[in-house]
Amino acid sequence: MVERPYLLSCSSGSIEAVKARPYPSSNTLPQKDSLCSVFTSCTPQKQETPQKGTPHALQQPKTIATDSTFAYSPIQSNRNPKERSPKVAERRSPRSPASERKRSSRVSELESQVSQLQEDLKKTKDKLTSAKSWKKQAQQEAEDAQKHINALCLKLEASQQQIIAHSCSNETNEDNQHTELSRNQKLTWESDLASAREEIENLKLEIEMVIRSEAEQKNYAESTNIQLQNLKGNLTETLTLVENMKVELQDCKEKEARAKGIVNETLQQLEVAKATVESLRSEHMKASEAYNSVVSELEQSKTRVKQLERLVSKLKDHFSLNLKEQKMQVHHDCGEANELEKVKSLEDLKSPCELMERMKPNSSCQKEAELVMKLKRAEARIEELGVNLIDKETDLQGIVEENERLKLKLENNLSFERESKLEQELKRLMKELSDLKACSVNKEMELHSVLEENQCLKLEIEKRNENANKSNGQLDAAREAMLKVSILMEEVEKSKSRANRVAEQLEAVQASGAEMEGELRRLKVQSDQWRKAAEAAVAMLSLGTNKEFMDRKGSYDRCYNPGKMGSPYGDDGDDDLMKKKNGNVLKKFGGLWKKPQK
């Protein structure tokens, strides 16, 4: 019994079809699939599915929140809290594999429903062909009965002629004494002949009625053949629609594969960008460390310069005191010659000290200049790295936004196209089912009328046979005709047995029609149950997705710590919760599906 749909079409439906469907569906379910989806598509219709004339002359499902769950993006984890934009935090993550599995399962349901509807169509076709064969047999039997009636009429005419000839011979051979008796016999014979002629006329009228009924039956058979041809045309159209739906499903699958490839490429690009960002950050850290080391070296060099300056000042004081003391001693102890020599030696001592003093500031200035150059280079490098970081972060934001837009567009286009197609197919299938029901009812009424006419004809034939038997019993001279009439009666009984067989066959056809009505009612009940189950599942899924979104949002706000930037893929608790919730939803959906038919 019937996706799509459609698909649920068929299921996907969509009951999908089935197709879904949709199912579909599906069907879902189109006409093969639409009957399958009628019922979707089943196209359950699928769904699908289903999507489904579809047994979804069901109410259109309410708008459902997308099954995509909000995930903590790795880009946000690596950024500082000041750099995060509120738009990026509100973006949606790509669809989870669970939602894709649900859609694929809905499409498969719609397709199964579409296949079931196709089987039901085949059964109805077989029943129609059997009814046609029964009608042909009934027509043939009616023709045989007409032939027998014509033969009986001819035999009756021959018997009447024999009776007339016999009466004439009896009149010539009889004596004048029996003239009165002969006259009485003639009167009786004439009355019998008149009654026989009336019966013959009545039989002719009945034959005309039978001919008219045959013509009407032929016209009815032609009309039924035309209707069957129209149904065949509709079936071919439904088959073409099913093929088109299959081609569209393949195109959708190819598009999904392409979209997945694009997503994978973008993910790879994001990973490369993350690696570059990390390398830039490491370079920035190294540059900052080098800058700090250079600053520390400068401070150390400054401290050394100060220490050297202090030493130089001390040495100057010490040398000046020594010179004064030596001069005083030279004036007192030695002569002028010795004083000159000492003065020269002191000047020689002054020159290396001065050289030392000159060398020290020169070396300190060179070191300071080199350190300043290194600092400038490090600052320029740091500025370049910062600019590169900003550019790459903007590029990453643009790529992420484009990916999210593409994903949303793909998801919306695929979901709306499948659901609309499965729903249209279900509507078509429902219309076809209603037409088939009306045709079956009309055919049953016509069969009832034909049976009643046959019964009336049988009663009239029996009455006439009784009258003929009475008239033949009164005629002693027409015993031979009575024998012939008995033979004719046997043939009439055979025709009656045939008529009874025809009546039994017609009753069997009526029983098959009643079974068809029961099957159609069951299909209606099943379509209603599938619709209710689909609506309940949709409501449960929408509630589950909303709760998951709120839970995840709270968990991300708790887990986010700007001091410790961890990987976004380390938490497996959300995946476990998703699995548990999906399992509960599937159990509830299975319970609704397994409810017994009323």
Integer Cα distance of 48 and 29 in angstroms: 6
Please give the average pLDDT of every successive group of 10 residues along the chain, which has 598 residues. 38 36 37 38 37 39 38 39 40 54 70 75 77 76 74 72 67 59 71 74 77 77 77 76 77 76 77 77 73 70 70 68 65 58 56 51 63 72 72 73 75 70 72 72 73 74 70 61 68 74 76 78 82 81 68 51 43 54 58 50
Residues 6+ apart with CB under 8 A from 246: none
Model pLDDT, residue 44 = 36
Query: What φ, ψ does residue 335 adopt, rounded to 5°?
Result: -85, -170
Per-residue tokens: 588: 């509830």
Residue 445's DSSP bridge partners are none
Integer Cα distance of 104 and 489 in angstroms: 71
Give the residue among 70, 78, 75 at the shortest CA–CA distance from 566. 78
Detail the DSSP E strand segments found in 414-522.
none
Give the number of other Cβ atoms within 10 Å of residue 398's Cβ: 10
Give the number of other Cβ atoms within 10 Å of residue 9's Cβ: 70
Question: Model pTM?
Answer: 0.24
Residue 5's DSSP bridge partners are 24
| Contact between residue 138 and residue 220 where contact means Cβ atoms under 8 Å apart | no
For 238-241, which contacts have Cβ atoms below 8 Å and span 24 or more sequence positions?
Answer: 238/30, 238/31, 238/32, 238/33, 238/34, 238/35, 238/428, 239/31, 239/32, 241/30, 241/31, 241/32, 241/33, 241/34, 241/425
CA atoms in the 13 A half-sphere facing the CB of 421: 43
Give the residue among 591, 575, 9, 565 at the shortest CA–CA distance from 278. 565
Give the number of other Cβ atoms within 10 Å of residue 12's Cβ: 58
Per-residue tokens: 106: 């809905």
Model pLDDT, residue 509 = 75
**What DSSP string describes 173-241?**
HS-GGGHHHHHHHHHHHHHHHHHHHHHHHHHHHHHHHHHHHHHHHHHHHHHHHHHHHHHHHHHHHHHHH
Model pLDDT, residue 292 = 72
- Tell me, what DSSP letter sits at residue 49? -
